[in-house]
Amino acid sequence: MTTASGHAPAEERVEQMVGNLLRIGVLFAAAVTLLGGIAFMIHHGSLTPDHSVFRGQPEMLSSLSGVIAGAVALEPAAIVQLGIVLLIATPVARVLLTLIAFASQRDWMYVLISAIVLVLLAYSLIVG
Amino acid sequence: MNVLELSILIFSGALAAGLLGALTGLGGGIVIVPLLTLVFKVDIRYAIGASLVSVIATSSGAAAAYVKEGFTNVRVGMLLEVATTVGALTGAFVAGLVSPRVIAIIFGLVLLQSAWQTTRQRVEHVVGGPPDRIASWLRLDSSYPTREGPQYYQVQHVPLGFGIMYVAGILSGLLGIGSGVVKVLAMDRAMRLPFKVSTTTSNFMIGVTAAASAGVYLHRGYIDPGLAFPVMLGVLCGALGGARVLPNFKTPRLRLIFAIVVVVMAFEMLYNGITGSI
């Protein structure tokens, strides 16, 4: 049995799952960012912006734990940042899903390749 | 001007960039940094952070559709992501060491190269070739759907493609762009993948590449929520709209206009980088 793309049915199932994961991840992250953005405008919309000098971000907006704690406390900027973290996490979840799919096909070489990419992404997101 | 008014302006600019990026196939990411630094006088580090975030959103959104249609070569993408993520981390670390002036100059050169690439006619290359030892060992050969049924192809020159991908990763991490042009170059020219497979697999990889450097930038405080949210939502809406109208749209004139805009931005970036006014 072949598919329109000529890929094996098992591979095509994985492609459908990957596609759905990416779509849901992006839409969910965008929705959280939008909610945070609206709250941000209500709280800070009338302030004078200044992005011309680089000052970095406080701990609450530049570490995973800070962003989560801030979002739980309903801090608008932290909710926006949570949306962005969810967006960054979407491709990471995609790599994890492909790793699981390769493992279920006993394709160990690609399990290893996916694991290398996953470790690099986790290092970046957690350690920075 | 207050935060609300500025955000609406930035959203509109990002919307236009996303729309043009989707219609010309160049992606909106490449013009976001010049737009923010040159027009809105944003520090280039904040601009790069916001741009990377928008790149993840648009590429993942587009990749979702392509991978379901079976164009994307998941194995090729996964393998080359090793090169692009290492490159992206390299680029993000280098960005912390060099001055914004150097980044502006490199950005200007990359913009010029992209504009030149956009206006050139795409030359059809020979797809595939004889069985390649490394590609067979890694089981990279695959097929994609065409009107006449599945079309099979054999992948060539894997080490060369891998090397070019490392460079694409560095540029992505250093400049906050998707560097889709370089990714397509590696797969289309070096690895002899069919063009449709090259572009869709490039899209598939851009999100992972950008996520690798975005983590570093988040910790370094480059991602400003007040700036990232109008940029991300604007580019995403523009790209979704662009993808919808694309099938009934003639693009040559639009590509030319976009290329001229990119060239103007390139010279501005070079000028600002050289004179140090960035």
Tell me whether 0.90 is exceeded by the ipTM. Answer: yes
Q: Domain locations in chain B?
A: 3-275
Q: Do A20 and B64 touch (CB under 8 A)?
A: yes
Selected residue of B81, B82, B165, B222 to mutate for chain A interface (largest A Cβ count, 10 A): B81
Residues of A in contact with B221 (CB under 8 A): 55-57, 61-62
Residues 70 through 129 of chain B touching chain A, CB cutoff 8 Å: 70-72, 74-75, 78-79, 81-82, 85-86, 89, 92
For residue range B48-76, list pLDDT tens digits in order.
Answer: 999 999 999 999 988 888 899 999 999 99
Q: Do B221 and A56 touch (CB under 8 A)?
A: yes
Query: Which of the two residues, B164 and A55, has the higher pLDDT score?
Result: B164
The reported pLDDT for the residue numbered B65 is 87
- Give residue A50's pLDDT band: very low, low, confident or very high (50, 70, 90): confident
Q: How many angstroms away from the CA of A72 is the closest CA of chain B?
A: 16
Those residues of chain B that have pLDDT short of 50 are: none
The reported pLDDT for the residue numbered B248 is 63
CB-based contact, A42 to chain B, within 8 Å = no
Q: Do B85 and A114 touch (CB under 8 A)?
A: no
Average model confidence (pLDDT) for chain B? 89
- Give residue A2's pLDDT band: very low, low, confident or very high (50, 70, 90): low
Q: Residue A128: is its pLDDT beyond 80? A: no
The reported pLDDT for the residue numbered A52 is 85
> What DSSP assignment string belongs to chain B?
--HHHHHHHHHHHHHHHHHHHHHHTS-SHHHHHHIIIIIS---HHHHHHHHHHHHHHHHHHHHHHHHHHT-S-HHHHHHHHHHHHHHHHHHHHHHTTS-HHHHHHHHHHHHHHHHHHHHSPPPPPPP--S--HHHHHTT--EEEEETTEEEEE----HHHHHHHHHHHHHHHHHHTS--HHHHHHIIIIIS---HHHHHHHHHHHHHHHHHHHHHHHHHTT---HHHHHHHHHHHHHHHHHHHHHGGG---HHHHHHHHHHHHHHHHHHHHHHHHT--
CB-based contact, A9 to chain B, within 8 Å = no
Residues 55 through 74 of chain A touching chain B, CB cutoff 8 Å: 55-57, 61-63
